Amino acid sequence: MIRIAPLIVILGAFALDSPRISAQPSATAGYLVFHNEDQLLQVKAAILAKDPYFSERYTKLLAEADLLLAKTPDPVVNKTVIPPSGDQHDYLSFSPYGWPD
């Protein structure tokens, strides 16, 4: 049960395409990410009820998440070149900086 909580938000995006879950567009809907709590609860209920529309996507999402969890993180301190400060935590960029006047 704990495993599905963070994924409900992601699956809420699928709800917009679902004929089973209705979403009312708002005036600010453009590029704004809005998490409608009622819609997310409907998605959660649909997943728990084994709705085929959401079950397939939920299973795929869990499989992709499990693959990502198996990857080893590459922290920023894994550098091959240490910055001039000698501190591997410092930012180092090889790009030239310059802005036209």
CA 69/CA 63 separation, integer angstroms: 10
- Please give the pLDDT value at position 87: 87
Among 50, 48, 42, residue whose Cα is nearest residue 20: 42
Q: What angle do CA 62, 42, 8 make, to 5 degrees?
A: 30
Among 1, 3, 45, 37, residue whose Cα is nearest residue 20: 45
Among 51, 47, 49, residue whose Cα is nearest residue 62: 47
Instruction: Confirm whether pTM is higher than 0.85.
Output: no
**Six token digits for residue 43:** 């998605």
- Please give the pLDDT value at position 1: 44
Higher pLDDT, 101 or 8: 101
- Encode pLDDT of 4-53 as tens digits: 545 555 555 555 555 555 555 555 555 666 778 888 899 899 999 999 99
Residue length, the chain?
101
- Encode pLDDT of 59-99 as tens digits: 999 999 999 999 988 887 887 888 888 888 887 777 777 77
